């Protein structure tokens, strides 16, 4: 189906493709999201004992997380940058990529404070745990910027405090570019915009892979490939601390939007001055949920209870 934007600028386009823009997955450790499960997880790490389960030891765990990230970065030549409030972290990563050659793996770590759930422990005067309370506090999050052979630039943002919630952020256009490169299709790309493509039909076929049910498997593969291999996970903890990670789609925008520097016709400019002209967000642009249903029409959509206690439709891979 052709949208209004493509119809208006059709004579300026050499081809078209349809894929998701940004994909944001929320990864969480189910056992650590409730008090009973968190206590069970702690006991697994400490030989069946929770004698040291208190606020001080939880803070020490967060401190070891931070020190491990910095030590790994120093040993492997990966910059670890602590960002201030208001800094555009994706801009920092883009500028780094523009001036450095990077290979597969983590190439940059950016740290900044953001709200996240943390556990607070209360004990009686006798030392018995009376409550485990989960609160939202501003804590350090670490954004691991990764170069993946199939998805290009991938970011995993992880809280430094247990239960170590994370977000995995991917770019559909980066995926298409990687697949086109593997298929031997020459192209030129500026940001998310393909400015020149030798084989538009071949590029569209690469993009169609994200519109198939198998895309769930591809998302699962890239997440499992990196989230368990981050430098903060000691080999001894990978099997116990991260028993299973659930992933829920947070945002899945649809069509490609107009680039700010795209040439605009004089008639369109006049229409915009008079209040008319093309809508910068064409009507019919798919919402995230609608696009996901089209992407996986046969996938079940069960309602489930999320870690924060709310109900939502989720997709777990």
Q: Is 273 or 9 the better-scoring residue by pLDDT?
A: 9
Q: Is the pLDDT of residue 317 over 70?
A: no
The mean of the pLDDT values for the chain is: 76
Place 148 in a pLDDT band, splitting at 50, 70 and 90: very high
| % of the chain beyond a pLDDT of 90 | 36
Mean pLDDT on 85-100? 90
Q: Is 38 or 314 the better-scoring residue by pLDDT?
A: 38
Place 70 in a pLDDT band, splitting at 50, 70 and 90: very high
Q: Is the pLDDT of residue 174 over 50?
A: yes
Q: What is residue 287's predicted lDDT score, i.e. its pLDDT?
A: 46
Mean pLDDT on 158-165? 89
What is the secondary structure of the chain as a DSSP string? ---HHHHHTGGG-S------SEEEEEEE-GGGSSHHHHHHHHHHHTTT--TT-SHHHHHHHHHHHHHHHHHHHHHHT--EEEPPTT--HHHHHHHHHHH----SEEEEEEEEEEEEEEEEEEE-TTS-EEEEEEEEEEEEEEEEEEEETTTEEEEEEEESSTT--EEEEEEHHHHHHHHHHHTT--EEEETTEEEEES-HHHHHHHHHGGGSTTHHHHHHHHHHHHHTSSTTS-TTTTTTTTS--EEEEEE---SPPPPTTS---HHHHHHHHTT-S--SS-TTPPPHHHHHHHHSTTS---EEE-TTS-EEE----
Q: Is the pLDDT of residue 285 over 60?
A: no
Q: Is the pLDDT of residue 227 over 90?
A: no
Q: Is 138 or 8 the better-scoring residue by pLDDT?
A: 138
Mean pLDDT on 268-289? 41
Q: What is residue 232's predicted lDDT score, i.e. its pLDDT?
A: 65
pLDDT per position as a tens digit, 93-142:
999 999 999 999 999 999 999 999 999 999 999 989 999 999 999 999 99
Q: What is residue 246's predicted lDDT score, i.e. its pLDDT?
A: 55
pTM above 0.95, yes or no: no
């Amino acid at each position: 189906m052709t949208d209004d934007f493509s119809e208006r600028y059709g004579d300026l386009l050499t081809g078209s493709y349809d894929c998701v823009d940004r994909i944001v997955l929320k990864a969480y450790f189910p056992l650590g999201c409730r008090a009973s499960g968190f206590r069970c997880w702690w006991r697994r790490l400490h030989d069946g004992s929770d004698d040291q389960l208190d606020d001080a030891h939880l803070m020490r765990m967060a401190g070891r997380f931070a020190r491990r990230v910095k030590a790994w970065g120093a040993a492997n030549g990966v910059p670890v940058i602590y960002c201030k409030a208001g800094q555009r972290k994706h801009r920092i990563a883009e500028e780094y990529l523009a001036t450095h050659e990077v290979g597969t793996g983590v190439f940059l770590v950016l740290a900044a404070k953001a709200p996240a759930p943390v556990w607070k422990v209360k004990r009686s005067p006798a030392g018995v745990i009376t409550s485990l309370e989960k609160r939202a506090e501003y804590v350090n999050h670490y954004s691991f910027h990764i170069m993946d052979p199939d998805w290009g630039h991938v970011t995993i943002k992880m809280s430094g405090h247990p239960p170590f919630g994370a977000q995995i952020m991917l770019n559909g256009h980066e995926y298409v570019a990687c697949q086109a490169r593997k298929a031997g299709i020459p192209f030129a790309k500026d940001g998310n915009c393909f400015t020149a493509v030798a084989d538009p039909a071949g590029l569209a076929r690469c993009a169609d892979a994200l519109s198939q049910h198998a895309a769930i498997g591809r998302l699962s593969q890239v997440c499992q490939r990196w989230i368990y291999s981050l430098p903060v996970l000691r080999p001894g903890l990978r099997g116990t601390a991260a028993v299973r990670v659930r992933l829920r789609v947070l945002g899945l925008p649809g069509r490609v939007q107009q680039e700010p520097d795209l040439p605009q016709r004089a008639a369109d400019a006049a229409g915009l001055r008079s209040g008319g002209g093309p809508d910068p967000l064409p009507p019919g642009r798919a919402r995230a949920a609608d696009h996901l249903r089209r992407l996986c029409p046969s996938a079940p959509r069960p309602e489930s209870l999320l870690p924060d206690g709310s109900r939502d439709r989720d997709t777990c891979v």
